[in-house]
Structure 1
């Protein structure tokens, strides 16, 4: 019944009204759905952006507070070994005072931020933060006051006297282990959990924004599909209402075209759009007949114009070819520029991360390393005191004798110095690793600088040590260093280290690929080996050779190894940009040479040649 009523209403409309109604309905649904989808997405994104902004600001405040708390605690602990150096002690205390003021300022900002957030979002978004602020509200101020009190007590001592120095160190050490100091440390520990919650809130906001986009897309797609279905239905109904008159008119058109009989006329039976179309068709046939006569005359003129047009087309084609070549060159230059920018940003971020990690590790390690000396001295004195007591009282009372046998006093006397020595060796090892990380990143060297390339090679090998050491499936990769007596070379240290990293990483990849079909015993008989040779070519140039005994490469491969995006590795394991970037660093940035030589089945060798002095520096 509903369909029949729709047909009757449509049949009473004119053709234009029918078509207009159908398109208006379909377009209206599509537009409405699209607007609704965009409105929903816009509203939801505004909400999620507010959440993201709130979470980002909260993370920034918490990170600043955590950093200042750790710095303040580190400077306070550094006061202990510096008590015997009054000037250094005062400098260290000045840093501590500065960080205490920053902590109070950040603490006030955090309280204001939490208060504002609770007024806007309610308590459901602020649960742990108010409890954290309430728990530690007075701790920073009390900690600051207690540090000042201890420093005032130390200033009254005569630090030129070793006895007073030890008394000052004892005061500071006692304060370091006090409940107030431990409670101050608890601020940093609790900040870790708060930061995790803030990061989680930031991730949830981002996920919510993505979900809003997906829902909006579903709404828009559903509206478009519905509009298409309605348009198809209306098109079927409309076509049935106008198809028969048009078929008759089409038959006249076909006959006039096939028979070339332009004297035929369509019969006009109605005054609607179809009748108007038939009248227009009859006029069209008459016009075509007239145009055919005029066309014959125009063809004669066109023949004359065509000869001139061909020459103009050829000139235009040459111009277009020249512009196409220019555009291709510009596109290649743009790709190279994009790769340089991406790599520059990536290395900058890597350098900042490495420098930051090295800095954060170095502070507590220096604290431990500095205090180990005093611990060794105290342990030596205590053991000497025990030995003197044993010499003076060789026959102790039974209770003391039993206690000494219970915790094996002789073993402790022999093992404690060894244990302290091993701890000192461990901290020395950590400091060497931190120094290697700093040498590799070289974040503070943005200009040419004369450096020892051997330090860069050793730092890079230390960073790759986890890939060189032995594993269950193979022995360790042997690294043979054959260093010559190189002078200091002017270069960008960070970029040269990057090139060395790419080449050495490729060598390790080649060796691991060659080990796929070899057993552990076969690899042990013919071990993996990387040979690094440095030498002086002449007074102006030096050479670095890095060779491996892997499978090597065919000539067709190593001839293209410096082409951008060319790689033989599996998808996801290589981008094809490591060697091109290394080539650019050596040749363009340093005016040097980078060559690759490989023999299939024997191995691959990369040779870097760099001038000792850069031309820009020499000209200056």
Structure 2
């Protein structure tokens, strides 16, 4: 809703305009006159103090030349004749040391405290200086071009301050009188201007209350108001015609409304049927989406099964080969033993080869057992969301071991930064699936058509939460899908086998299974960063 502009009355405009203008003009005029008056007094005071300084310089010149201090004290009577004088100092310049010394001092009232010497202030007091309550001046006493001393005068300016106060009071009284006169003139002018408008307002109010627009406004005393009255009369005439048209249109609208009610009732019934069909379709879509998410989980588990089977096949094959070779050698030894042709060198060779074969069988069976144990943990975790206590570093190692068949032939590096002794109580299954999906998403999408790539996984505890920061330096995410990467069926591999459920599954696991938050940041060509936070014990 736009802000409404303030509506001002004619009285307010007249009062503010006239009073403001008159007050401003009065204040400016009286201020200028007062300032000029005070400046003239200051100028007069300055000229007086300069005059008396010249007089004192002339009278004391001979005494300074002859250094007659006592004679100056006895004969100098001009100081008592100077009006408003506070202090008088006469200084003598020593011819030998060039120092300025106090030669004579005078103060009007003996109860006044003495003031500091001003012998060093000639540069600042060579022109009259006005302070709050006094003016001071200092003049050189010269004989030809040689300065033999200085005379310092300080005069009282309180009479000027009293005159200024009186002038201020007089100016305030004059301004108040002028404002009162301006208010009276503004009210009279407003009454003359607003009277015709009040008449027009009353006419309009009566017409609106009675809904009778046949009456006319009377002639107004001045042109603007009369033009407004004529236009109001034209408006009344047009409104009378418009009301008649509205009555006819209202009758037609009633007829149309009945027709519309019938159409609305029919369309409402059709919409109810369509809405029911849509609800049914939406329910099926949600079921289908849930099935797809579960299929995605099982497909991920199936890929791991195939990879682990391939990885386990190698150590088991080597164990079978070594055991077969050991059986063949054992059969040869048995035959030679029965035929009594067994030699000590043959037995020694058999024992050495047997030890090597047993060691080979043992190593490969242990490797297969480790792979199957790791796969068993991952499979159990992925199919369960129970809370258990585990070491995060071991969980990450198991995930990488599970993905080794898919990653060992790819030129991509994965760096893990996690404290070795970080133990938490949480749900390892969702964490396992989240990491697998993020790594495979970077491999499939981020490093597509690239010969190198770097993935970093940083894990650290923050208060009562676990922070997982997953980064890669791949292609990044395009801005067109950046804000909807966690939505279902969002993929850049449409028609190429991409289901668009990988990151949607990650989002659901973080927010629902772990009760945490996930934030994705990416710039095209600068990789992707995924930050995950969820509560832990």
Decide which structure has the larger Cα Rg and report it: 2
Q: Same fold (TM over 0.5)?
A: no
Where is the strand percentage greater, Structure 1 or Structure 2? 2
TM-score (norm 1): 0.37
Structure with the higher helix share, 1 or 2: 1
TM-score (norm 2): 0.42
